Amino acid sequence: MVNGTPVEVRQSHPHLLSALREELNITSPKDGCSPSGQCGCCTVLIDGKAVVSCQTSLEKVAGKSVVTLEGVDETERSRFASAFAACGGLQCGFCIPGIVVRAKAQIDKKGAALKREDMARHLGAHLCRCTGYAKILEAIEHVAKGDIPPMPIVAGVGSRTPKYEAHALALGDRGYIDDLRVPGMLHAALHFTAHTRATIRSIRTDAARAAEGVRAVFTADDIPGELMVGIIHKDWPVMIPVGGRSSYGGDVLAIVVADTRVHARAAAALIDVDYEVHTPITDVDVALSTSEVAVWQTADNVLSTSEYRRGDVEAAFTDGAHVIAETFQTQRIEHAFLEPEATLAVPSGSVETGTLHVYSGGQGIWDDRNDIARVLGVGNDRVTVELITNGGAFGGKEDMSNQAHAALAAWLLRVPVKCVLSREESFLMHAKRHPIRMRYEISCTAEGRLTGLRVRAVGDSGAYASVGMKVLERMAGHASGPYHVPAIDVQAIAVRTNNPVGGAFRGFGANQAQFAMEGMLDRLAERVGISGWEIRHRNVIRPGMVWGPGQIMDDGCDGALACLEEIKPHYDAARAAGKAVGLGLGLKNSGLGNGFKEITKAVVRIEEDDTLEIRHGWTEMGQGINTIALQVAIEELRDVLDIDTSKIRVVVDTTRELGLGQTTGSRGTLMGAGAVQAACRAARNAGLTRGVDHVGEYRVDWTTKLGDPGVANPIIHSTFGYASQLAIIDRESGKVERVVAAHDVGRAMNPTLCEGQIEGSIHMGLGYALTEDFPSDPSTGMPTNMTLRSLGILRAKDVPLMDVILVERPQPDAPYGIKGVGEIGLVPTAGAVAAALHDLDGTWRTQLPMRRAGAEDE
Minimum gap (Å) between residue 128 Cβ and another protein: 8
Distance (Å, whole) CA 818 – CA 811: 6
Please state, in angstroms and as integers, the Cα–Cα distance from residue 677 to each residue in 604, 748, 830, following that order: 9, 16, 36
Q: How many residues bind another protein (CB under 8 A)?
A: 72
Cβ proximity to another protein, 391 vs 482, nearer residue = 391
Cβ proximity to another protein, 503 vs 760, nearer residue = 760
Residue 374 binds another protein, judged by CB under 8 A: no
Residue 849: asked if its preceding bond is cis (omega within 30°), the reply is yes
Q: Which of 261, 536, 588, 616 binds another protein (CB under 8 A)?
A: 261
**Stretch of residues binding another protein (CB under 8 A), selected from 45-53, 74-82, 254-262, 575-583:** 254-262
Distance (Å, whole) CA 16 – CA 19: 5
Please state, in angstroms and as integers, the Cα–Cα distance from residue 627 to each residue in 314, 398, 690, following that order: 51, 21, 23
> Scanning residues 291 to 320, which ones bind another protein (CB under 8 A)?
none
Minimum gap (Å) between residue 843 Cβ and another protein: 27
Beta strands in 13-70 (DSSP E): 43-46, 49-52, 66-67
Q: Which of 138, 367, 635, 744 binds another protein (CB under 8 A)?
A: 138
Minimum gap (Å) between residue 681 Cβ and another protein: 30
> Scanning residues 112 to 131, which ones bind another protein (CB under 8 A)?
129-130
Phi, psi (rounded to 5 degrees) for 141: -60, -45
Cβ proximity to another protein, 172 vs 578, nearer residue = 172
Minimum gap (Å) between residue 132 Cβ and another protein: 5
Cβ proximity to another protein, 3 vs 663, nearer residue = 663
Minimum gap (Å) between residue 385 Cβ and another protein: 19
> Is 212 within 8 Å of 263 (Cβ atoms)?
yes
Binding mask 209-248 for another protein (x = CB under 8 A): --xxx-----------------------------------
Q: Which of 448, 503, 760, 820 binds another protein (CB under 8 A)?
A: 760
Distance (Å, whole) CA 150 – CA 83: 9
Best CA proximity match to 725, nearest among 743, 709, 712: 743
3-state secondary structure of 243: coil
Cβ proximity to another protein, 213 vs 486, nearer residue = 213
Minimum gap (Å) between residue 421 Cβ and another protein: 11
Best CA proximity match to 156, nearest among 747, 633, 639, 746: 633
Minimum gap (Å) between residue 419 Cβ and another protein: 15
Q: Which residues of 557-593 are buried (b: 16+ CB within 10 A; e: fewer)?
A: bbbbbbbbebbbebbeebbeeebbbbbbbbbbbbbbb
Minimum gap (Å) between residue 565 Cβ and another protein: 24
Beta strands in 177-283 (DSSP E): 186-192, 198-204, 214-218, 228-229, 236-237, 252-258, 272-277
Cβ proximity to another protein, 161 vs 654, nearer residue = 161
3-state secondary structure of 546: strand
CA-based diameter of the chain, in Å? 98
Q: Which residues of 720-738 are buried (b: 16+ CB within 10 A; e: fewer)?
A: bbbbbbbbbbeeeeeebeb
Minimum gap (Å) between residue 215 Cβ and another protein: 14
Cβ proximity to another protein, 733 vs 789, nearer residue = 789
Minimum gap (Å) between residue 774 Cβ and another protein: 14
> Scanning residues 535 to 594, which ones bind another protein (CB under 8 A)?
none
Distance (Å, whole) CA 366 – CA 786: 31
Binding mask 324-343 for another protein (x = CB under 8 A): -----------xxxxxx---
Cβ proximity to another protein, 603 vs 791, nearer residue = 791
Residue 104 binds another protein, judged by CB under 8 A: no
Cβ proximity to another protein, 6 vs 795, nearer residue = 795
Distance (Å, whole) CA 237 – CA 467: 15
Indicate the helix (H) or strand (E) that contains 743. strand 736-744
Residue 344 binds another protein, judged by CB under 8 A: no
Minimum gap (Å) between residue 344 Cβ and another protein: 13
To the nearest 10 degrees (0 to 180), the angle between helices 96-110 and 134-145 is 40
Q: Which of 733, 795, 842, 854 binds another protein (CB under 8 A)?
A: 795
Distance (Å, whole) CA 203 – CA 221: 11
Q: Which of 756, 775, 810, 817 binds another protein (CB under 8 A)?
A: 756
> Scanning residues 775 to 794, which ones bind another protein (CB under 8 A)?
787-789, 793
Residue 134 binds another protein, judged by CB under 8 A: yes
Residue 830 binds another protein, judged by CB under 8 A: no
Minimum gap (Å) between residue 18 Cβ and another protein: 27
Binding mask 151-180 for another protein (x = CB under 8 A): ---------x-xx-xxx-xxxxxxxx-xx-
Minimum gap (Å) between residue 402 Cβ and another protein: 16
Distance (Å, whole) CA 697 – CA 611: 22
Output the CA angle 279-282-287, nearest 5 degrees: 90
Q: If DSSP states are collapsed to H, E and C, what string results for 56-121? A: CCHHHHCCCCEECHHHCCHHHHHHHHHHHHHHCCCCCCCCHHHHHHHHHHHHHHHHHHCCHHHHHH
Q: Which of 423, 638, 731, 735 binds another protein (CB under 8 A)?
A: 423
Residue 505 binds another protein, judged by CB under 8 A: no
Residue 682 binds another protein, judged by CB under 8 A: no
Binding mask 595-624 for another protein (x = CB under 8 A): --------------------------xxxx
Cβ proximity to another protein, 726 vs 804, nearer residue = 804
**Stretch of residues binding another protein (CB under 8 A), selected from 311-319, 349-357, 386-394, 580-588:** 386-394
Cα torsion 550, 551, 557, 558: sign: positive
Residue 483 binds another protein, judged by CB under 8 A: no
Distance (Å, whole) CA 729 – CA 739: 9
Cβ proximity to another protein, 215 vs 437, nearer residue = 215
Q: HSE, CB side, 13 Å, CA atoms: give it for residue 192.
A: 21
> Scanning residues 31 to 90, which ones bind another protein (CB under 8 A)?
none
Residue 733 binds another protein, judged by CB under 8 A: no
Cβ proximity to another protein, 283 vs 759, nearer residue = 759
Cβ proximity to another protein, 3 vs 771, nearer residue = 771
End-to-end CA gap in the chain: 78
